[in-house]
Amino acid sequence: MNKPHMLQSGDTVMIVAPAGPVNKERVMRMKLRLEEMGVHVKLGNNMFRQNGFLAGEDALRLADLQDAITNPNIKAIFCSRGGYGSARLLPYLDLEPLKRQPKIFWGYSDITFLHIICNQFAELVTFHGPMMEECGAEDVAHETFSSLGQLFSPTAISLTASRPDYPPFFHTVRAPIVGGNLTVLLSTLGTPYEIDTRGKILLLEDIGEAPYRIDRMLNQLRLAGKFNECAGILLTDFHDCEAGGNTSLSIEEIVYTHIVPYGIPILNGFSIGHCTPNIGIPLGSYATMDGQSGTLTIEPGVIAN
């Protein structure tokens, strides 16, 4: 995997909107915050457009994203928000410039589509991190915003699992991290952009999905063989995914049905995804899951200049 160079004062970065419509006030606030960190910020030409549930027509969103990928002066690409729409761009993106010039690519949720193709087709380490809208909120959590610091210096990430809900393991597992939003991962199956989990640590997160839907999605991953050669599982935040009452299975029961029988090491409970704080991590970097300490250590996602 290719790692991008770290950001330096004076570098130019670009904010784009490949998916849903953007909150302009928050993005402009984040633009100022990035400038205070020492970088120049270019905004996508079409970023504040809207076409229904999309941030403008496909051709316009594609043009901005391709410009960010192709322009040699752009050192990092930040996604303004998720929502829906990234998948509509996949067949038309030219990722060859990223192979020649690896760049920081940052976002999550619907942006999972773009992480997968950058990881698998451009062999690029990318960053599953909070959106520019999120970081531009007046009350953004300190840990959310400060996770951007890993882009300015090669920094290992160390996190501790907060929920020991699954069978313990007493060894370490070292493998690259892949994955992201569970709903989006399911949408890649049967396409040329299908996620490859062989020998990988798979990160899973989601928001607002009823437990029966989580069950359906994990069952589909199981039927697609995605747990067969998976090295490990990271269950991060499943925000607002628990049903009330006594008529539903819990997320834990669902995981016991579909994943635990494979004997895959599982760590559960990280502030990654649709949660506060939302910690950014590099996808494609090697990580070590330590079963005895319940810790996750991820190698830096950038290299020194």
pLDDT bin (cut points 50, 70, 90) of residue 125 is: very high
SS3 category, 68:
helix
Q: What is the distance between the alpha carbons of residues 6 and 287, in angstroms, rounded to a whole number?
A: 19
Q: Check: CATH 3.10.110.10 for 157-298?
A: no
Q: What is the mean pLDDT of the chain?
A: 96
* Cα–Cα separations (whole angstroms), residue 152 to 37, 75, 146, 202: 9, 11, 11, 26
Percent of the chain with pLDDT over 90: 96
* Residue range 165-191: mean pLDDT, rounded: 97
Helix, strand, coil % in the chain, rounded to nearest 5: 30, 25, 45
**How confident is the model over 187-218, as pLDDT tens digits?**
999 999 999 999 999 999 999 999 999 999 99
Percent of the chain with pLDDT strictly greater than 70: 99
Orientation of helix 251-258 relative to helix 211-223, angle to 10°? 10
Check pLDDT > 80 for residue 254: yes
Task: Give the pLDDT score at 246.
Answer: 72
CA distance 12 to 241: 38
Residue 283, φ and ψ in degrees, nearest 5: -95, 135
DSSP state of 187: H
Give CA–CA dist 302/31, Å, rounded. Answer: 22
Identify whether 277 is preceded by a cis peptide bond (ω within 30 of 0). Answer: yes
CA angle 37/43/44 to nearest 5° reads 145
Q: List pLDDT tens digits, range 88-122.
A: 999 999 999 999 999 999 999 999 999 999 999 99
Give the burial class of 127: count Cβ atoms within 10 A of its Cβ; 0-12 exposed, 13-18 middle, 19 or more buried: buried
Residue 242 has a pLDDT of 85
pLDDT over 90 at 244, yes or no: no
**At residue 245, does pLDDT exceed 90?**
no
pLDDT category of residue 243 using cuts at 50, 70 and 90: confident
Answer yes or no: are the C-beta atoms of 268 and 167 closer than 8 Å: no
Choosing among 1.20.210.10, 3.30.950.10, 3.40.50.10740, 3.40.1030.10, the CATH entry for 12-151 is 3.40.50.10740
Strands 232-239 and 201-207: parallel
At residue 233 the predicted structure's pLDDT band, cuts being 50, 70 and 90, is: very high
What's the pLDDT band for 300 if we cut at 50, 70, 90? very high
Write out the catalytic residue numbers.
109, 205, 274
Per-residue confidence at 247, pLDDT binned at 50, 70, 90? Answer: confident
pLDDT tier at 295 (50, 70, 90 boundaries)? very high
- Domain 12-151 identical in fold to domain 157-298: no
Q: What is the mean pLDDT of residues 262-276?
A: 96
Q: Where are the domains of the chain?
A: 12-151, 157-298
> Taking a C-beta distance cutoff of 8 angstroms, is the pair 293, 159 a contact?
no
H-type alpha helices, the chain: 24-36, 58-70, 96-100, 112-121, 132-135, 142-146, 182-188, 211-223, 251-258
**The residue to which tokens 């819990």 are assigned:** 250
100 CB contacts (<8 Å, ≥6 apart)? none
Structure pTM?
0.96
